Amino acid sequence: MRRVLSLAGWLGGATLLGLSLWTGEGLAQMDGLAQMDAPTTHTVFITGMEVKGATTLDKLAPPSVDPKDLSKGYGFKGPGEADKQNPKRWEVASYIFTPGAVTARQGDTVKLTVFMVNGDRHEVSIVDPDGREVVSKRIWNRGREYEVSFVAEKAGTYKLVCSDHAPSMIATFLILPR
Ligand SMILES: [Cu+2]
């Protein structure tokens, strides 16, 4: 009985939906969907910064692999080097772009306003899913704000990369197919 009722309810809903598509309301909804589907411009504020962490030998031994061997974007200062006054202290750091991931749709324009907080110099570019530059290599310096944009013609992952701090100083733009 419950099943029959829910089927009747579903049929009723489907009929209403069908009817509404032929009314002004339905057309307005379709217009709304078409607008949602039209390419748009995303304005994204990104900050280039450095995150830091520290501890002491009595709490945790330093890593067996030097983080600097993993990425040019990682920093490491071992015991004795980090702080002469406190020889037990050791520090790690990492350059990042934040937000580090943005989603848009194929055909959209992605407009970035990037402010560099940490690091005097960063050599950056933006590459498309095939590795082709859509924003050519340039230097970004601390304390400056930069504006760049690209049209995401391909679906896939575009990347804002800093070659001075590769491979970890990166922001990804996931472009969904339209
Ligand atoms: Cu960098």
Q: pLDDT tens digit string along 98-135? A: 999 999 999 999 999 999 999 999 999 999 999 999 99
Single-letter amino acid, residue 77: K
> What is the Å distance from ligand 1's center to 163 Cα?
7
Q: What is this structure's pTM?
A: 0.79
Walk me through the domains of the chain, giving residue ranges and CATH numbers: 2-37 (no CATH), 41-176 (2.60.40.420)
Give me ligand 1 centre to Cα 174, in Å.
Answer: 21
What's the 178 CA to ligand 1 centre distance in angstroms?
32
Q: How confident is the model at residue 11 (pLDDT cuts 50, 70, 90)?
A: very low
**Whole-number Å distance between alpha carbons of 155 and 103:** 11
- Helix residue ranges, H only, the chain: 2-21, 24-37
Please tell me the distance between residue 145's alpha carbon and the centre of ligand 1 in angstroms: 14
CA–CA gap between residue 15 and residue 8 (Å, rounded): 10
Note the pLDDT of residue 37. Answer: 80
88 C-alpha to center of ligand 1: Å?
29
Residue with tokens 């983080």: 67
In this structure, the number of other CB atoms found within 10 A of the CB of residue 58 comes to 7
